[in-house]
Amino acid sequence: MNDLSKYNNKLIYKKNKLFLEDVSLNTITKKFDTPIFCYSSTQISNKFNLFRSSFKKIKPLICYAMKANFNSHIIKILAKLGSGVDVVSKGELEKCLINGVEANKVVFSGVGKTEKEIEFALKKKIKQINVESLEELEEIEEICKRLVTKINICLRVNPDVNANTHEKITTGRLEDKFGIPNDKIQRIFEKYNGNKFIKITGLSIHIGSQIESLDPFKNAFTKIRKQILDLKKKGFKILTLDLGGGIGIKYNKDSKIIDIKMYAKLIEKLFSDLGAEVILEPGRYIVGTSGIILTRVIRVKKGTNKNFLIVDAGMNNLLRPALYGAIHNICPVKLKDDKKRISYDVVGPICESSDIFIKDIKLPEVLKDDLIAICSTGAYSSCMASDYNLRPKASEIFVKKNKFIISNN
């Protein structure tokens, strides 16, 4: 429990007090009410730089998957580092442009783009739209005709690959709603070859999230490589290859982590000889371990067979445990000398039985008003928050070295 570096190497105990970078978490709770999202700005930058530097033979365009966390401060950090953005809505597109992302580094993904969203993207002259169906492509063509404009398109392929991740975040099987089946891709290339309004520049793929092994990536990427070679034999040019994201992070002691350098080597082995621009869309990998939730114990409830730690954070702040059965590492903000461990269920205040963060976690005795930290909440946490039970959304605090700022937008 004391070694938190595998979750966030900027999260460390100093004299039994928990620090994020050089800021004591107790200091933050003196200025802001709990629950609080706290992020290491340095961790975000470091993860982006590590990802980028892992590639030696190619220089991919990294488009941060903004759905993971759309806080403006994060977008500004990444934009300054040269990142592009992968968006899935008009709102995300507007926000990333306002916060310094260049339009020619924006990719618009998603299975349900509306006509208004497509029109807005065309007017902003973004890099490309990743199309999920022939029907969507036909709608884009009609809008382009009306606006007298042309757009770069990548066809999102459904490779029928199981990512071996949670059922609710796998996206690359034929029964999933995403992408175009392999056997329809060539016909779409043929239909739109030489089109005045639609320029199909390549292929896109994304098979799921929180993937903990290279094998699903290898299976999907091998299929895509074969498809590219087949299309090239037919005379079609493949200028762009969007390989998506999906790399898992450390949530708990059982989480397996992919070696990012091996991931980069796999991509370079399969695609560096094809002459196509490679786009990658990491989201969770960049921001996931940067964040924690600081929450205060409301009371300790002793049940017949269990001890409940009732905390002021709930599923309205962190939905992943209720939605996916996710388990996040939890640790006390102040270490105690007591070697005795007590088993607790850590639960929130929401009026739902699913408002449970973890069951049967063994911690030193925890008392009313003690603070605990829920780790690896930088992705798919604040962005999925709600005001259910009319509980206010938590503040978002960004730490850099010995200073911190609030950024709630």
- pLDDT one-digit tens code per residue, 183-220: 899 999 999 999 999 999 999 998 888 999 999 999 99
Q: Check residue 20 and report its DSSP letter.
A: E
At residue 7, the pLDDT reads 81
Residue 329 lies in a domain: yes
- Please report, for residues 43, 230, 329, 347, the alpha-carbon distance to residue 376 in angstroms, rounded to integers and kept in the order given: 12, 41, 8, 17
Residue 171 lies in a domain: yes
At residue 8, the pLDDT reads 84
Asked if residue 311 and residue 192 are part of one domain, the reply reads no
Structural domains of the chain, count: 2
Q: Is 154 a catalytic residue?
A: no
Asked if residue 222 and residue 173 are part of one domain, the reply reads yes
Domain end (from 257, 287, 317): 287
Residue 350 lies in a domain: yes
- CATH number of 251's domain: 3.20.20.10
Residue 2 lies in a domain: no
- CATH number of 368's domain: 2.40.37.10
Asked if residue 292 and residue 282 are part of one domain, the reply reads no
Which residue ranges in the chain fall short of pLDDT 50? 1, 166, 168-169, 172-173
What's the full length of the chain, in residues?
409
pLDDT digits (tens, 9 = 90+) for 71-83: 999 999 999 999 9
Residue 58 lies in a domain: yes
Asked if residue 75 and residue 220 are part of one domain, the reply reads yes
**In one letter, which amino acid is 268?**
E
At residue 169, the pLDDT reads 45
Asked if residue 158 and residue 46 are part of one domain, the reply reads yes
Residue 1 lies in a domain: no
Considering 63, 144, 154, 351, which one is annotated as catalytic?
351
Q: Check residue 312 and report its DSSP letter.
A: S
Asked if residue 237 and residue 100 are part of one domain, the reply reads yes
pLDDT digits (tens, 9 = 90+) for 308-326: 999 999 999 999 999 989 9
Domain end (from 287, 303, 322): 287
Asked if residue 218 and residue 101 are part of one domain, the reply reads yes
Residue range of the domain that includes 49: 42-287
Residue 363 lies in a domain: yes
* Confidence (pTM): 0.94
Please provide the DSSP assignment of 200-215 as one string: EEEEE---BSSB--HH
At residue 236, the pLDDT reads 96
Residue 3 lies in a domain: no
At residue 173, the pLDDT reads 45
List CB contacts of 339: < 8 A, sequence separation 6 or more. 364
Cβ–Cβ under 8 Å, residues 226 and 189: no
Domain end (from 249, 266, 287): 287
Asked if residue 137 and residue 80 are part of one domain, the reply reads yes
Measured in degrees and rounded to the nearest 5, phi and psi for residue 385 equal -70, 160
Asked if residue 296 and residue 234 are part of one domain, the reply reads no
CA dist 23 and 157 (Å) reads 45
